[in-house]
Chain A
């Protein structure tokens, strides 16, 4: 099925560093969701975005809905070991309830 391009695919960072990842699509979306998934668990919602240009924070996490409505960005500030996991974006187009998922960004934090 259709997937969104998410980058980077994986990243190793030092504890305390900031992290940036993004998701791009060839289609326009009305909603962007960002999830974190730990091994063997279901995705947990981090941030939801509903309007182009919207910037939303959740603790150390900040996400933005791109102006073109075809991309979204997630930043994590001052990373800690529990930030380890896979981060997925998901987009939802108008008139549908079929979410399209990004390919995922695997984050590893070195203490």
Chain B
């Protein structure tokens, strides 16, 4: 099983709303990632968690707040977003410490900020 599950599939929110994106994997992977992707562009790394600790923050604005409650779950809390934050948000996971390090993606959450 190489499945990464993201919910919701679609999300529309106002600029004053608070919402959360969820990601789950059961492959035993100890690295989990959040990416933001604009149309026709490659995924842009936002955060990396390794062993449930935040290891990379690519200078993401504080209105995006990641959380890793356990080794299988990753959340992205959203607050006071701007219309330019509208994008496809992708979660991914991979093994750590192995030579063959493959990253698997979820289907994404399509976010629209009004």
Binding site for B on A (CB under 8 A): 1, 3, 30-31, 33, 35, 40-45, 48, 50, 86, 88, 90, 92, 97-99, 101-104, 106
Question: B42 and A101: CB pair below 8 A?
Answer: yes
A90 / chain B contacts, CB cutoff of 8 Å: 103
Q: Contacts of A30 on B, CB cut-off 8 Å?
A: 99
Question: Is A97 in contact with B43, judged by CB distance below 8 angstroms?
Answer: no
Q: How many residues in B have their beta carbons less than 8 Å from beta carbons of A?
A: 30
If the complex has contacts A1-B58, A31-B101, A50-B99, are A41 and B43 also in contact, measured as CB distance less than 8 A? Answer: no
Q: B residues touching A (Cβ–Cβ < 8 Å)?
A: 2, 4, 6, 31, 40-45, 48, 50, 56, 58, 88, 90, 92, 94, 96, 99-108, 110
- Alpha-carbon separation in the docked complex, A12 to B48 (Å): 36
Distance from A45 Cβ to chain B, minimum over Cβ atoms (Å) = 6
Residue among A3, A43, A92, A97 making CB contact with B105, cutoff 8 Å: A43
Query: Contact check: which of B40, B42, B56, B110 meets A3 at CB < 8 Å?
Result: B42
